[in-house]
A and B are shown apart, each in its own frame.
Chain A
Amino acid sequence: MVELVLFIVFGLIAVAGALSMVLHPNPVYGALGLMATMLSIAVFYVVNSGHFIAAVQVVVYAGAVMTLFLFVIMLIGVDRAENLEERLPMQRQLAIGLGVAFLVLIGLIGGNAWITAPASASEPNGSVEAIADLIFTDWLLPFEVTTLLLIIASVGAVALAQFSPRRRGGAEE
C-alpha cells in the first residue's frame, strides 16, 4: 500500500519533471525539472531495494551531473528562451508519431506477455557490501576499464575546454 502511494506520487513527479524538461523553452527550468525526475527515480531505487544505487543516483546524477549542466547553462549564457518553432520538415510529426507508436507497442507487449520470469521470493540485497562484492569479483575488469574511461573523459574535457578555438594561422571568425 505504501509502495502504491509512493509509486503514484513520485511517478507523477517524475513524469511532470520530464515533461517540463522537454517542453519548457528555458533550459534552466528544464534542468530543475530533470533534477526532480532524478530524485523520484532515486526513491524508486530505494523501494526496489537498491540502496547503494539510490545514493549514487542522488549524489552523482542529481548532484554532480545536474549541477554541471546548470553551470554550463549559466556559463554559455543561454538563460533566454529557445525558439520552439520547428524548421526541419516532418520532424515534429515523425517524432510524435514514433513516440506514440512506441508507447502503443509497449502497451501491446505489456498486455500480452510482460514479464515471463517467475518472481523471486527473496529481495536482492542492495547494500554497499553486496554491490562491492560483485564489482570486485565478477565485474572487476569492466570496473577497471571504467576508471580508464573516466580518466580519458576528464583529460578530454579539460583539453577541449581549455584550448582556444582559434585556428592556427587561420583568420578568426
Chain B
Amino acid sequence: MEVTAGWYLALGAVLFVIGAGGMLLRRNALVMFMSIELMLNAVNLTFVAIGRHVGDLNGQVAVFFVMVVAAAEVVVGLAIMISVFRRRASASVDDLAVLKG
C-alpha cells in the first residue's frame, strides 16, 4: 500500500482534534498552550504533505513561518503565564474570568 497525502491529512485531522480537545477540556494554561502547539503542528503536517503532493516548496515555507510565529507566541504567552502565576499562584484559566488584576 502506498502512503498518499490523504493519509497524512487524516493523521493531521486526528492530531488537530486531540489538540482541540485538550484546549477545551484542560484548565491548566500550560497544557492548553501545548494543545495549541499540537494543533499548529497538525496543520503544519498537512501543509508539508500537500506540498509534496503538488510538488510545491511553498508549503514548507509556510511551515517555516508558522514555526516562527508559534515560537514568538510561546515566548510571550509563557511570559504572561509567569506574571499571572506570580499574582494568582494558579495556572488555571478558569480563575481568570474577569478583566481585573
Contacts and interface: CB of A to CB of B under 8 A. Distances in A.
B24 interface: yes
Interface residues of A, number: 89
Contacts of A114: 6, 9
Size class of B's contact patch? 35 or more
Contacts of B34: 21, 27, 30-31, 34, 69
B15 A37 contact: yes
Dominant SS among interface residues on chain B? helix
B56 to A, nearest CB: 6
Contacts of A94: 24
A120 B82 contact: no
Instruction: Report, nearest first, the 10 A-B pairs whose CB atoms are least far apart.
Output: A120-B55, A22-B22, A95-B24, A153-B72, A157-B79, A160-B79, A18-B18, A48-B52, A106-B13, A76-B85
Interface of B: 1-11, 13-22, 24-28, 30-31, 33-35, 37-38, 41, 44-45, 48-61, 63-65, 67-76, 78-83, 85-87, 91-92, 94, 101
